[in-house]
Amino acid sequence: MNFLSIGSRRGPDLAIDLGTANMRVMVRGEGVVFDEPSLCYYEKKSGQMKLIAAGLDVLAMVDRVPGTHLVRRPLARGVLQDMDAATALLAHGLTSVIGKKPSGRPPAMISIPADATKAEANALLTAANDAGFGRIELVREPFAAAIGAELPVRESRASMVIECGAGTTEVAVFSINGQCRSRSVRLGGLDLDEAITEHLHLRHHFLIGKITAEALKKHLAEHGPGNAEVQIKGRSLHTGLPGTLTLPVSEFHSVLKRHFGRFADAARLVVSEISPDLAADLLNERVVATGGGICARFLAEAIAAECGIPVTIANDPHGCVSRGLMRLMEERAA
C-alpha cells in the first residue's frame, strides 16, 4: 500500500471509525482492514503505567486483571477521556495496517461526535499526531452514518439518521448536504449493559460482569419479545458463590423501554425544531437507525411510537459510519 505524505493536498488514504467500544481502520480501495475493541491493557510499575497490549488481545482481560494491572478505554460517552490510551490504540491500529516502519506520516479521516467541543476535537488531533499520523480530517459521525446508510442527504428533502453507538447516540436531520438539526445523548450500548447489570443486582441480588452483560444484551436483541428464557452466569449475593439464573426475556422489557425512551425523546425534540415541510418529508420512510452499540430494532420501535414516523433499520447497521467514511474518502480522492 502506498500512503501519502503529510504535505500532500490529496485526500486521505486511511479512514478511522474511532468508537467507544471498537475502532475500525479503512484503507482506500481495500475497505476495512482493522476492526478491534477500543481497549488498552496497562501494568503499574514503580508508579508508572506501562502499556502491555491494545485492541483484540485485551478483550479477554476485561474484569479479570490483577490489582497491579488496568484495562482502560480511550473514549467515554463518545469522546476522549484518556489521551495516553487513545494514542496507544491509534498507534496500534496504524502499526497493524502499515507495519512498524511507515514511510512518512499518513494523513487520515477520523469520525467524531456531532456535538464534540473544540477542546475535544483538539484532543483527538493531538492523540492522532502523537500516534504517528499526518494531516487529519474530522468528519461528524451522523453525517458519515447517513452516507453509509445511503440516505439522500444531498437532496432538497429531509432525511434523518439515528446513530447508536456504545457511548453516545446522535439524532440528525439533513437536507441539501447540510445538517439542519441534531441532538446528542451521551448514552449508548454500554449504558444499557450497566442498566441490565443493575436490574439483576437490585431485583435478584445477582452479580454479572461486563462481558456477560454485553452477551445478554445481544441475546435480548436476537430474541425480542416472547416467552423465551435466558440463562445467566454470575455470582449470587445470597451465597457469595457462582451460580446460574434462568429468567424469561420479558423480564428485561421494562429496562429496554426505559433506556430507549430517552433516545425517542431526543428524536421528538429534533423533529419539533425543523420546518413543517422538512418534518413531512420524514413520513416517506426517510428515517434510518444505525449503529452497533445498541439494539437498533428496539430503538426504531421506540422512535416510531414516540414520533409517529416510520423508522428503517439500515443494512449492516453497525458498519454505516465505516462505509460512510470510505465513500467520503473515495470522493476526496477523485
| Residue 6 lies inside a defined structural domain of this protein | no
Q: Is 77 left (phi over 0), alpha (psi -120 to 50) or beta?
A: left
Domain hosting 215: range is 151-314
d(C-alpha 259, C-alpha 261), whole Å: 6
Give the model's pLDDT for residue 293: 58
User: pLDDT band at residue 177, thresholds of 50, 70 and 90?
Assistant: confident
Q: How many domains does the chain have?
A: 2
Q: Are 81 and 193 contained in the same domain? A: no
CATH number at 40 reads 3.30.420.40
**114-157 pLDDT, tens digit each:** 888 899 999 999 999 999 999 999 999 999 999 999 999 888 88
Residue 3 resides in a domain: no
Copy the grid coordinates of residue 152: 439522500
Distance from C-alpha of 24 to C-alpha of 45, rounded to nearest angstrom: 31
pTM of the model: 0.87
